[in-house]
Amino acid sequence: MTNKKRDEEQYVYNLELERQLDEEQYQAEKQALYQELKEVRETQEKQWQEREESISKQEKEQEETKAKLEQLEQELEQKIKQAKEEGKGIGTYQAKIKSDLRSKEIEGEKHNYELRIAALEETISNQDIRHQKLSHQLEASLKQVQDLAVKAIEGTSNRNSFEAMKEIAMEQAKNPQKSK
């Protein structure tokens, strides 16, 4: 029976010890949560205070801006009236200047186009003359080639005439390159 009593006392002791430890842990967690809640509340209150200050500052800026806007609107109306009066006189003067400038631009463009046309016509004329010269050179070269071919076919040429033909062909090949 003493074992049973000892076991029972041991069980009760362990149970009370466990309850005490659970209670201490519960109290510690509770304290930590209260501390965290306190910090969150302080942070939120600080943020609200900052927001209130920011909103107050924005409201003040808005009022100042409204006052400036009203002043600017009044100044704008005065400037518009003044500008309308000045604009009538300036508009007529500017229209005359624009008209004169545009007529001079048109005259300049016409002169420019006439010069370009003359330059293009001269280029065409030069190209025609060059084309005719090249055509004559081509005809002369063809005639020489035909003459050489006839001599070669007739069989009257020998090694010297072959060399002469080669030299003439080389000369003809060089001549068109010079005229380019």
The C-alpha atoms of residue 51 and residue 55 are separated, in whole angstroms, by 6
Nearest-angstrom CA–CA distance, 67 and 170: 96
What total number of domains does the chain contain?
1
> How does pLDDT run across 156-168, given as a tens digit for each residue?
545 666 677 778 8
Low pLDDT (below 50) residues in the chain? 157, 179-180
Residue 156 — φ and ψ, nearest 5°?
-85, -5
CB atoms within 10 A of CB 48: 10
At residue 71, the pLDDT reads 92
Q: Which domain range does residue 28 map to?
A: 2-179
Where are the extended beta strands (E) located within 44-169? Answer: none
pLDDT for 159: 60
pTM, entire model? 0.32
